[in-house]
Amino acid sequence: MKVRYRFGDFCVSPARRVLLRSGRELALIPRYLDLLILLLERRHEAVHRREIFETVWSDVVVSDGALSQAVRTLRRTLGDDSREPVYIRTVSRHGYRFAFD
């Protein structure tokens, strides 16, 4: 059985490595898709920044700014608002969690 994550108008297929909105593929940097998949796999759980870095950027050293940029881009792609997020919530001094039911 292939895993797919559906939320709102979106569908993520980790096996095919695509993000779809209403059936249309959206362009996303591979690492940003990795971040989205990680948050979806652990939805309703806060994922610590350190774990995100170890999972998504395991082969390079990046700053917190790279993670912030990735989250900003994901939110923009999903039409999410950082002030009142529907999908990706910031967990203060910890990391992020995917919050859509």
Q: What is the mean pLDDT of residues 53-77?
A: 94
Residue 59 has pLDDT above 70, yes or no: yes
The CATH code of the domain that includes 74 is 1.10.10.10
Q: pLDDT tens across 5-21, in order?
A: 999 999 999 999 999 99
The structural domain count of the chain equals 1
Q: Residue 61 has what pLDDT?
A: 85
Residue 73 lies in a domain: yes
Those residues whose C-beta lies under 8 Å from the C-beta of residue 99, and which sit 6 or more positions away, are: 43, 44, 85, 86, 87, 88, 89
Q: Does residue 3 lie within any of the structural domains?
A: no
Residue 1 pLDDT more than 70? no
Taking all residues of the chain, what is their mean pLDDT, rounded to a whole number?
A: 94
Give the residue-averaged pLDDT of 35-61: 94
**64 is a domain residue:** yes
pTM higher than the cut 0.85 = yes
In a domain, 25, yes or no: no
Q: How far, in Å, are 1, 2, 5, 32, 55 from residue 74 at the CA level? A: 27, 23, 15, 7, 17
